Amino acid sequence: MPLFTVFTPTRDRAHTLPRVHASLERQTFRDFEWVVVDDGSSDGTAELMAGRQTESPFPVRYFHQEHGHKKTAFNRGVREARGDLFLNLDSDDELLPGALETLLRHWLAIPETERTGFSAVTGLCVDEGGEVVGDRFPTDVLDCHPAELLYRHKVRGEKCGFQRTDVLRAFPFSEDVRGHVPEGVVWSAIGRRYKTRFVNEPLRVYHREPGSIMAGGPASRNADGLALWARDVLCGDWRWFFSDPFWFLRMAANHTRFRLHLRKAEMGGRWPLRGLVPRLLAAGMWPVGLVRYLLDRRGS
């Protein structure tokens, strides 16, 4: 079995998938498989992948499904994965040649007795010009929970790394959510239990391509997942309020905003808040959430 599963969810990206494949061919560490889950493409992706499965110097496994958004494609990829370490690589991106080797080196540098408390190693992304995208980490090697990285160290922007496959299987995306589910819902749940090793080494080239399997749409279409995300932030992270009060106030308003969309769709009982502080935050920002909802309706 391979050590790494490199997973690519795709939809109508036959024109960019060869770039992903080429970057995998250049990897200096070769113990990996490439799992591609096609979320309902109609652009020749199946024919392209059939050729890659025949010609590729590493295992390529391709699965087609009816369109169900990235949440279902991601869960399928995790179920099918044979590797212990799972790296998500979108269909418009590419790995730098030493990325897998770098990730493994840092993973093995974590003492074996401590490794069960970690789920991931995460590094940096660069753009097509080689410039780092987003913020660097405050030290070259940093071990902490992701919430601490976000709220205490104020690190934001595109990053790249792997998660343990067994951890991802324990924290799947909710497939009963209508529309898109923000990835932060899953990453935050994992991050509250496990640490990540963050390293200041570039691993992925981030290409800005129009359209995406992650593409959203009108607020009403994705209100279910966005209300879930707002609830997750308010209930799971509220103790960090004073580190970034604007963010929490925004999410409090969004919880009202998107639940009003759900109420109109006769789904208003979903994602209620738990705990006194989250409820107080939502109550205080209720007028702002109402205004945002009305603006959504006006613009639709």
Q: What is the pLDDT of residues 227-249, one digit of tens each?
A: 999 999 999 999 999 999 999 99
Q: In the predicted model, is pLDDT for residue 218 greater than 90?
A: no
The rounded distance, in Å, linking the Cα atoms of 102 and 204 is: 12
pLDDT band at 210 (very low <50, low <70, confident <90, very high): low
- Closest C-alpha to 157, from 202, 214, 100, 216: 202
Give the model's pLDDT for residue 265. 85
Query: Do 5 and 85 contact (CB within 8 A), yes or no?
Result: yes
Q: Report the percent of the chain where pLDDT is more than 70.
A: 96
Question: What pLDDT does residue 68 have?
Answer: 77
Taking residues 114-127, report their average pLDDT.
97
| 103-124 mean pLDDT | 98
pTM, two decimal places = 0.92
Q: Which two tokens stand for residue 150?
A: 């976000």
pLDDT surpasses 70 at 213 = no
pLDDT at residue 219, as a whole number: 74
**What pLDDT is recorded for position 300?**
67
Does residue 106 register a pLDDT over 70?
yes
pLDDT of residue 131: 95
Return phi, psi of residue 222, to 5°: -110, 20
State mean pLDDT over 53-73.
92
Residue 221 has pLDDT above 90, yes or no: no
Q: What distance lies between CA 221 and its chain's CA centroid?
A: 20
The answer to whether residue 220 scores a pLDDT higher than 80 is no
In this structure, how many other beta carbons lie within 10 angstroms of the beta carbon of residue 237?
Answer: 21
What pLDDT sits at residue 76?
97
Which pLDDT does position 209 carry in this prediction?
A: 65
**Which pLDDT does position 179 carry in this prediction?**
86
